[in-house]
Structure 1
Amino acid sequence: MARQCELSGVKPITGNRVSHSNVKSKRRFLPNLVNVTLRSDALDRNVSLRIAAKTLRTVDKLGGLDGYLAQSKDDTLSPKALKVKRDLQKQATEAAEAEA
């Protein structure tokens, strides 16, 4: 399993570990990934994802999973999240056609 957020695409980055004597050696900064189950109100189902903790705060701020996926770009999403986004778009178009 890759150490990558399924919604925002956050990955490990590299930097330097600096000792007291200012000797630099390479290190990795890993994202704080958490396993969460988010509820899609429009689809009326739960989705299990492995996302970064800072992305979880953004999801809450934007009004849940549906709001976050509506504003996100397709190239940052995992295949699982992209499928949920497409299901949301499909349902929105079906609802618009039913009203017209």
Structure 2
Amino acid sequence: MSRVCQITGKKAMVGNHVSHANNKTKRRFHINLMKKRFYVPSEDKWVTLNVCAQGLKTINKIGIEEALERSKKEGLIK
């Protein structure tokens, strides 16, 4: 599975390591991705999602059911 947040759609970004001598080499900025289980009361079941820290804040703010609905609409979850 790719390292993409299933709520926000965030992915790793690409940038450069910059040394003291100003040499540049490619690197990746990974997101803070975690595997979490959430209880969905309307379906009476547990759902496991890969979410980043911002995704957890979104779920806390709008609720798991609304977050799942939005991510299905955007095509992040099947």
After TM superposition, the score normalised by the length of structure 1 is: 0.67
The offset of 1:21, in angstroms, is 1.6
CA distance in 1, matches of 2:11, 2:67: 19
In the alignment, is the contact (CA less than 8 A) between 1:35 and 1:50 conserved in 2? Answer: yes
- Superposed CA RMSD in Å reads 1.7
Unaligned runs of 5+ in 1: 80-100
Corresponding residue number in structure 2 for 1:23: 23
- The runs of at least 4 consecutive aligned structure 1 residues that moved more than 6 Å come to none
The structure with more radius of gyration = 1
Q: Tell me which of the two structures has the higher relative contact order, counting C-alpha pairs closer than 8 angstroms and 6 or more residues apart.
A: 2
The corresponding residue for 2:7 is: 7
| Aligned partner letter, 1:35 | K
Using the alignment, how far apart are the partners of 1:76 and 1:11 within structure 2? Answer: 15
C-alpha change, 1:49 and 1:42, in structure 2 (3 Å) is: same
Check conservation: 1:7, 1:76, Cα contact below 8 A: no
Q: How far off its partner does 1:54 sit?
A: 1.5
Q: Which has the higher helix share?
A: 1
Q: Identify the residue that residue 82 of structure 1 maps to in structure 2.
A: none
CA distance in 2, matches of 1:2, 1:69: 19
Residue number in structure 2 paired with 1:88 = none
The percent of aligned pairs where both chains have the same amino acid is 38
Give the match for residue 56 of structure 2: 56
Structure 1 residue 73, shift from structure 2 partner: 6.2
User: Unpaired runs of 5+ in structure 2?
Assistant: none
> For residues 55-94 of structure 1, what are the structure 2 equivalents within 5 Å?
55-62=55-62, 64-72=63-71, 74-79=73-78
SS of equivalent to 1:7? coil
